[in-house]
Structure 1
C-alpha cells in the first residue's frame, strides 16, 4: 500500500471465473495488491466452490478474500451477454476450466478481444492448452505424480509421497499472476493485451528446479533423500533431547563452524568427513555421528548455540507452534478480517511487504451473488430487469 492509502493495482478490474485452488490463488495475488475482482459463480452453485463444500470454511475464506461476488449462469445466453458487457470494461479475465470449456461457452480470449483488445486473459489448466493431455481433468496430486515430485519426496525406499501442501496449484497460481502482471506492463507500451497461460504440470516441472536440471544436464535421476538435502551435506533433521532440529552445514566453512560449536573439531580432520566428497560418500554415517551429539541437549540450546556460531539451525514446528513463534508473530502473517456471516476471523496475510508495511486485508470472501444488484445497476439494468434475470435463473 502506498503512503497515500491507495493500492498499486486499485485501477485494475478483474473478472474471476476460477474455482478450486490454482486459479483463485492467481487472483488472490492481484486482489491483495488492490485489484477489483468480481468472483463469478453459477447461481445456486455448489457451496464453497469445491473447497470442502463450505463457503464459510477456512479454505474458501482464505482463497477469496478481497473480492466482490456475482452469480451468473454462463450456460444461459443472457448470462454470456452480461459477461461480455462486463468484459468490455475489464482489464483481466482469469479462468481455470478444462482447456476446451471457455471455447464452448463462447468467452475465450479471441472472442473477448474482438470487443476489448486490451484484455489480459489468464488461463490455468491441468496439463496445457494444447497437446495430448489438454482435455484431461487435472488436480494437484495428479500433477505432483506426473511431474516427478512424489518420486523424490519421502524417506529412501518409502515409496512415492505427496507433499503436504497443494504445491502445484499454488505455484501455478503464482506463476500465472506474474505473467498477468507482465502482460499488463507490456500493455502500457503496445496498447494490447495478451493471452497468458500455464498449467499445473508446467508449474510442477519448473519447481523441480535443480532436481530437474540434474536430469536434463547430467542424466541423473534424483532419488528420495528424506530429510537430507539431496546434495548439500550435512543438511538435515536431527533428534535432540526433547525433539528435533534442522541443521544446514553444507560447505567447508559452515561445516567447520558446526564442528567447532559442537566441540568436535576431530570431525574436521577425520578422513571420512574431511572433504565434501567424503561427506557425500559417508553421509549416513556422518549424520549418525551428528545425531549422537545433538541428542545430548534440548533443541533450544542447539538452536542458540549454532545460530550464534553462524550455522543455520531451527526447530521442526507443528503449525500451531509456527504461529506461536515470536518471529512469525512479529511479521503479522495472520491477519484479521470481518465477515458479515462469520464475524471477525484470522486468515493468512500477503507475504510481500512494501516499505516494511504489509497490505491490510480489505474484506472477507463474498457471499454467493453478494454484489449482483450493484454490478448490474452499474451496467444500466433496472430493478425490474434484475428481478427478471433472477427469476429466469440468469443470476
Structure 2
C-alpha cells in the first residue's frame, strides 16, 4: 500500500487550507488533546464523533501532537455510526492525505485528511477508524471522552474497513490521535467552549452527550442560530500552570489556547470557564501560592489573544465548590474575587453567570443538590443543562 511520509512541507500542503471550500468550513467537533495515552501495536481504533452541526465534505485532523515518534497510519476510514462499533452498511469511506491511503505524521505534527464526499447530519455520530500498523509508544489522546471507543486486540491488524464489529473486542472511554473534524457549512461560524473538567463533562453519562456545550449546541440548532460548538475542556486543567506529573490533565490554558482555539476555522466566539483547579490547588505561577490577581492576569492574556484574532470572548463565572476535596476558605475568597472581576470589569465581551445558575440559593458557596454529581464540584447532567440554559443566545451570535 502506498504510504505518504509527511514532513513539515507536507503538513502545510495537505492541510485544511488546500480544500476548495476552506473559507466555508467550521469545526463540528474538536476535543483538546494531551500526552499520556496508551501504547498500541498493529491495532485498529474505531471512535465515535458527535458533530454539533451538519455539513458536507468532512475533514479529520489526525494528531501526533504529543507523540515522541512518528505516527504511521496504515488505513483510515470514516462512516456513519449505526450502533456501537457497527457502521451503517455502505457508509464507510476512505480517509486519505494528499490522495494517499496511508501516511506518516512526525512527532509533534498533525495533518488534515482530504475532504470526504459525504453529508454530515447534526447530532448523528460518525465513526472514525485508524489502523496503526507499527508500535505507538505513547499516544496523543483525550482522556475523559465520556464516549465509548472500540479497538481491536494487540496485533490484530487492519480492521478499518470492517462493517462487522467482531474484531473490536476492547473498549475504553478515551479518544486517540484525533483533534478535530471540520465540515463545509457556509452560513455557520465556530464557538469554542474552553475550560476544565466541568466543560469536559466529567461524571456525565457515557455516550449521552450531556455536557453543557452539547446542551448549548442543541439550543443553537433549535433556535436556528448558525454556530457550531466544540468542547475544548480538559479535566484538571488550569489557566496558569501545567499539571505535572499528571500530563493527561494538559498544559495550561495559556499554552494550549493557540492550538485548541486559534487553529480552528472561523471561530467567532469563545466561552471561557476555567480557574477552579488553579484555586483548589493553590497553584500560582513559579510554584508560589495563587492570588486573584494572578488569575485575572491569565484571563487578561487570553482576552488579549482572542481579540488579536478578532474573536469575541465571554467570561464564565467559576462555580461554587464548598464540600469538594480541595475546598479552602482562602480559595473561596479567591473565587469570589475572580468572579467579581469577571462580572464587573467589562474586559470580557460578555458574562455568563454559571455560578448563579447552579448554586444553592440558601447556601451560595455550594452547588444546588439537584445539580451536584456527588463530589460537590462537578454538575450532573441536570446541572449541565442548567448551565447551557443560562447562556443568553444573543451574546454568542
Task: Provide the TM-score with structure 2 as the length reference.
Answer: 0.23
Structure with greater helix share of residues: 1
Structure with greater strand share of residues: 2
Task: Provide the TM-score with structure 1 as the length reference.
Answer: 0.23
